[in-house]
């Protein structure tokens, strides 16, 4: 984790030396996230979970067409299910939804093209998500009875914990107005297996819509 943070800081520091302009901004929006799971060669995808993201971004522009845009975002991901539990008490079988709260650091490489009253941009890049907390409201308890209990999700290296950190790639596109307001859509594809059980594979996926503003 420390190596990933140091690498990100070094990249931002090196980039700032060569950038022609540097602008700072904020962004926030909604996430529609799912996770895919593979167990014993059987693969399924959860129903969508609605969450959000909010944070700051920095745009290092090298010319009118190219920039590098790192950021720091608080982002919620996870998935939901309409399947009732079987009374086993296992969170994965009895939870109506699972929410992961991340501190996410994306670094996007963007191509800009001027259009009337603004510019369009498209690009993508890697992200690292450091798990902060998680929760799983339960449908049934260990006896198979309806319950309002919530079980915490823990990040770590244990067999019953979620692997930390998560990482993957973002694909992003949008429009920036001359007023420096931006509208964007992004898709995050997690490539890190979130399960510490070698027989299970779980990956985050999230579609997001954002509203942003860059300060002049």
- pLDDT of 152: 87
Does 10 have pLDDT greater than 80? no
The number of residues making up the chain comes to: 216
Q: Which residue has the tokens 């449908």?
A: 139
At residue 199 the predicted structure's pLDDT band, cuts being 50, 70 and 90, is: confident
Task: Dump pLDDT digits (tens) for 157-180.
Answer: 898 899 999 999 999 999 999 999
Does 6 have pLDDT greater than 80? no
Residue 146 within any structural domain of the chain: yes
* Average pLDDT of the residues in 118-144: 86
Cα–Cα distance measured from residue 154 to residue 133, given in angstroms and rounded to the nearest whole number: 7
DSSP 147: -
Residue 16 within any structural domain of the chain: yes
Q: Which residue has the higher pLDDT, 147 or 200?
A: 200
* Average pLDDT of the residues in 29-44: 88
- pLDDT of 88: 38
- pLDDT of 22: 87
Residue 108 within any structural domain of the chain: no
Does 35 have pLDDT greater than 70? yes
Considering only the C-alpha atoms of the chain, give the largest distance between any 2 of them, rounded to a whole number of Å: 63
Residue 153 within any structural domain of the chain: yes
Residue 79 within any structural domain of the chain: no
- Which of 199, 202, 191 lies closest to 155, judged by CA? 202
Residue 151 within any structural domain of the chain: yes
Name, in order, each residue with C-beta under 8 angstroms of 6's C-beta and a sequence gap of 6 or more.
none
Task: Dump pLDDT digits (tens) for 52-91.
Answer: 999 999 999 988 899 999 999 999 999 986 544 443 334 4
For the chain, what is the domain count?
1
* Average pLDDT of the residues in 25-48: 89
- pLDDT of 166: 95
Cα–Cα distance measured from residue 174 to residue 160, given in angstroms and rounded to the nearest whole number: 39
Residue 139 within any structural domain of the chain: yes
- pLDDT of 85: 40
Q: What is the CATH number of the domain that holds 90?
A: 2.40.160
CB 142 within 8 A of CB 89: yes
- Percent of the chain having pLDDT more than 90? 57
Q: Domain of residue 9: give its range.
A: 2-72+85-99+114-215
Does 149 have pLDDT greater than 70? yes
CB 170 within 8 A of CB 122: no
Does 122 have pLDDT greater than 70? yes
- pLDDT of 114: 93
Is the preceding peptide bond at 165 cis, omega within 30 degrees of 0?
A: yes
Residue 157 within any structural domain of the chain: yes
CA torsion 80-129-127-53 (nearest 10°) is 60
Vertex 128: Cα angle to 60 and 46 (nearest 5): 125
């Amino acid at each position: 984790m420390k190596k990933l943070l140091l690498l990100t800081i070094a990249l931002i520091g090196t980039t700032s030396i060569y950038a022609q302009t540097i602008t700072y901004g904020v962004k926030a929006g909604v996430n529609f996230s799912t996770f895919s799971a593979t167990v014993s060669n059987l693969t399924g995808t959860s129903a969508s979970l609605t969450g959000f993201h909010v944070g700051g971004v920095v745009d290092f522009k090298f010319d009118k067409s190219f920039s590098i845009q790192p950021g720091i975002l608080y982002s919620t991901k996870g998935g939901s299910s309409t399947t009732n539990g079987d009374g086993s008490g296992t969170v994965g079988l009895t939870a109506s939804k699972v929410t992961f709260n991340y501190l996410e650091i994306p670094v996007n490489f963007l191509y800009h093209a001027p259009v009337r009253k603004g510019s369009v941009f498209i690009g993508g890049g890697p992200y690292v998500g450091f798990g902060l907390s998680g929760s799983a409201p339960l449908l049934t308890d260990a006896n198979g009875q309806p319950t309002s209990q919530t079980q915490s999700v823990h990040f770590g290296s244990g067999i019953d914990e979620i692997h930390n950190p998560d990482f993957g790639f973002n694909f992003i596109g949008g429009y920036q107005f001359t007023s420096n307001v931006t509208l964007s859509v992004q898709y995050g594809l997690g490539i890190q297996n979130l399960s510490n059980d070698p027989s299970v594979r779980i990956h985050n996926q999230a579609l997001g819509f954002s509203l942003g503003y860059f300060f002049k």
